[in-house]
């Protein structure tokens, strides 16, 4: 048995804790059965409803918290550095912590799954197994994401000379998701065009059309969630490799970005209109560039080594050092160029996606990445993320106001990528990006002082 899994199993699912969990669940389900004993359909529907609530609390919330805390707890107990020196492989460490730390949560959650399965079998509901598999896949996905977020928090905290805390990682994850959703719904990102397929994915009933093919919604949703859970687990494994001082070739991150572009682009596909899915994929991947820029530790030495190796054409050394934001930007650029090559963007969307505006957006993304770099490599890296967010908000808000005063429409396009004057936005964005990167690179070359 995996020693890390066994150790976490002993800690989290000891006989005493299992006994207390069993008593609690018996009381909950027993009380539900007593309350619903006179129901015409019997107590099973009520118990299955409570089982669904138990699954949400235990499988989604408690399990995700436990998976993220598997590493952060080691940090707090000052045992993580010793674990990093162990002979365990990154994969053993990853799944041992992921499943071991959430073992008791899974035991409780699976009781809810069993009750829901019993009700579905009794009622003969179609797609019952798909629904149960979807719930389990969703729990695995959230737990893998929380473990990956904890590892990101540990790496960032170490680079900034502080200690990662569970509260900081949790609120950072929530705040980051809110910001990404806000950016995705902005005018520059064409009001959520890049993520529009998620509504079809999450809320479709009956059938889903993807890349011109029709699939049962529940089966498609389950398989897709399993795929995302697999990518989340792969991301946690790659981050664990970095924690154990191993190098990663840029394979998993580009692979996920390609998967994301193909997945979201499939919802926008119409026969004879290939530009639409290309642009949807480009917008989604460009959004991932922001996530990569904030998630990676601000490491001057690593960035200088990447720049020197890339300038010499030494790809063997440069590729493992490639910043996480570079790959999504390059992929988004390729997709936008491909959209121009194949022609118009006629699609299921009422307006857009607009290839010219997408090109202008990439110029501003390039500028924004420079602004993020400028602040994250500042004299106070602990406040770099917050400073970068405030600076970007001011650039877009104040710039939009100044532009509207200069000339409504065209003037605003100089500070925000708008479809009304996309080429003016493109030129302005590139000019601002050149200035911002000159300032950022100057700061990167300055020796770090703590």
Residues 381-384: contacts with CB within 8 Å, 24+ apart? 381/159, 381/160, 381/161, 381/298, 382/160, 382/161, 382/162, 384/160, 384/298
Give the distance, in angstroms, between the CA of residue 88 and the centroid of all CA atoms in the same chain: 27
Average pLDDT (106-125) is 90
Give the distance, in angstroms, between the CA of residue 131 and the centroid of all CA atoms in the same chain: 23
- 72 is written with which tokens? 């952060």
| 329 sits in which H/E element | helix 326-342
- Residue 129 to residue 136: CA distance in whole angstroms: 11
pLDDT in the model for residue 349: 40
- Residue 335 to residue 319: CA distance in whole angstroms: 21
Instruction: Please give the C-alpha separations between residue 241 and each of 15, 89, 91, 335, 446, in angstroms, as whole numbers.
Output: 33, 8, 8, 30, 29
Q: DSSP letter at 381?
A: G
Per-residue confidence at 444, pLDDT binned at 50, 70, 90?
Answer: confident
Task: State the SS3 of 66-132.
Answer: HHHHHHHHHHHCCCHHHHHCCCCCHHHHHHHHHHHHCHHHHHHHHHHHHHHHHHHHHHCCCCHHHHH
Q: Which of 183, 188, 182 is nearest to 415 (CA)?
A: 188
pLDDT in the model for residue 449: 56
How many degrees, rounded to 5, is the angle at CA 70 between CA 66 and CA 75?
135
pLDDT in the model for residue 59: 95
Q: How much is the mean pLDDT over the chain? A: 87
Q: Which of 73, 124, 82, 122 is nearest to 100 (CA)?
A: 73
- 288 is written with which tokens? 């991932």
| 208 sits in which H/E element | strand 207-210
Average pLDDT (65-79) is 88
- Residue 119 to residue 102: CA distance in whole angstroms: 26
**Three-state SS at 207:** strand
pLDDT at 67 over 90: yes
- Residue 384 to residue 391: CA distance in whole angstroms: 10
Q: Is the peptide bond before 293 cis (omega within 30 degrees of 0)?
A: no
pLDDT in the model for residue 345: 47
pLDDT in the model for residue 40: 78
pLDDT digits (tens, 9 = 90+) for 338-370: 988 887 544 444 344 678 888 899 999 999 999
What is the value of pTM for the model shown?
A: 0.89
The DSSP bridge partners found for residue 270 are: 273
Give the distance, in angstroms, between the CA of residue 20 and the centroid of all CA atoms in the same chain: 35
Per-residue confidence at 3, pLDDT binned at 50, 70, 90?
Answer: confident
- 84 is written with which tokens? 């990093």
pLDDT digits (tens, 9 = 90+) for 230-269: 999 999 999 999 998 888 888 999 999 999 999 999 988 8
Give the list of residues 6+ apart from residue 122 with CB closer than 8 angstroms, or none.
Answer: 44
pLDDT digits (tens, 9 = 90+) for 428-443: 999 999 999 999 988 8
Sign for the pseudo-dihedral over CA of 360, 365, 368, 374: negative
Question: Do residues 96 and 10 make contact, with C-beta atoms less than 8 angstroms apart?
Answer: no
Average pLDDT (265-274) is 85
Helices 15-35, 44-55: axis angle to 10 degrees equals 140
pLDDT digits (tens, 9 = 90+) for 300-322: 888 888 888 888 888 888 888 88
């Amino acid at each position: 048995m995996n020693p890390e899994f066994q150790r976490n199993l002993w800690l989290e699912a000891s006989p005493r804790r299992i006994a207390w969990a069993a008593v609690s669940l018996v009381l909950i389900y027993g009380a539900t059965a007593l309350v619903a004993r006179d129901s015409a359909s019997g107590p099973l529907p009520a118990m299955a409803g409570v089982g669904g609530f138990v699954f949400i609390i235990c499988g989604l919330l408690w399990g995700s918290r436990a998976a993220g805390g598997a590493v952060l707890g080691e940090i707090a107990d000052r045992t993580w550095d010793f674990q990093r020196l162990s002979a365990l492989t990154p994969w053993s460490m990853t799944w041992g912590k992921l499943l071991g730390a959430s073992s008791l949560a899974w035991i409780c959650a699976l009781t809810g799954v069993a009750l829901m399965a019993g009700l579905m079998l009794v009622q003969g509901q179609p797609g019952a197994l798909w629904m149960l598999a979807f719930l389990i896949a969703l729990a695995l996905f959230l737990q893998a994401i929380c473990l990956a977020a904890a590892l990101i928090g540990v790496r960032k905290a170490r680079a900034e000379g502080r200690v990662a805390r569970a509260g900081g990682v949790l609120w950072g994850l929530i705040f980051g998701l809110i910001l990404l959703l806000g950016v995705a719904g902005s005018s520059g990102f064409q009001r959520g065009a890049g993520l529009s397929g998620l509504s079809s994915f999450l809320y479709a009933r009956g059938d889903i059309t993807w890349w011109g093919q029709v699939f049962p919604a529940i089966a498609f949703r389950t398989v897709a969630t399993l795929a995302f859970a697999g990518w989340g687990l792969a991301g946690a494994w790659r981050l664990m490799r970095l924690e154990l001082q191993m190098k990663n070739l840029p394979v998993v991150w580009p692979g996920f970005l390609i998967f994301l572009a193909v997945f979201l682009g499939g919802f926008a596909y119409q026969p004879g209109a290939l530009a639409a899915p290309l642009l949807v994929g480009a917008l989604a991947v460009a959004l991932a560039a922001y996530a990569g820029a904030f998630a990676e530790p601000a490491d001057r030495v690593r960035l200088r080594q990447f720049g020197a190796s890339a300038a010499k054409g030494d790809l063997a050394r440069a590729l493992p050092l490639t910043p996480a934001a570079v790959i999504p930007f390059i992929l988004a650029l390729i997709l936008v160029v491909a959209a121009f090559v194949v022609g118009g963007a006629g699609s299921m969307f009422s307006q857009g996606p607009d290839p010219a505006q997408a090109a202008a957006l990439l110029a501003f993304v390039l500028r924004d990445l420079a602004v993020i770099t400028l602040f994250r490599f500042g004299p106070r890296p602990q406040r770099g993320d917050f400073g970068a967010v405030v600076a970007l908000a001011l650039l877009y808000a104040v710039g939009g106001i100044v532009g509207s005063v200069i000339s409504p429409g065209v003037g605003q396009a100089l500070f925000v990528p708008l479809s009304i004057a996309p080429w003016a936005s493109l030129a302005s964005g590139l000019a601002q990006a050149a200035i911002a990167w000159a300032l950022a690179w100057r700061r990167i070359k300055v020796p770090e002082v703590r």
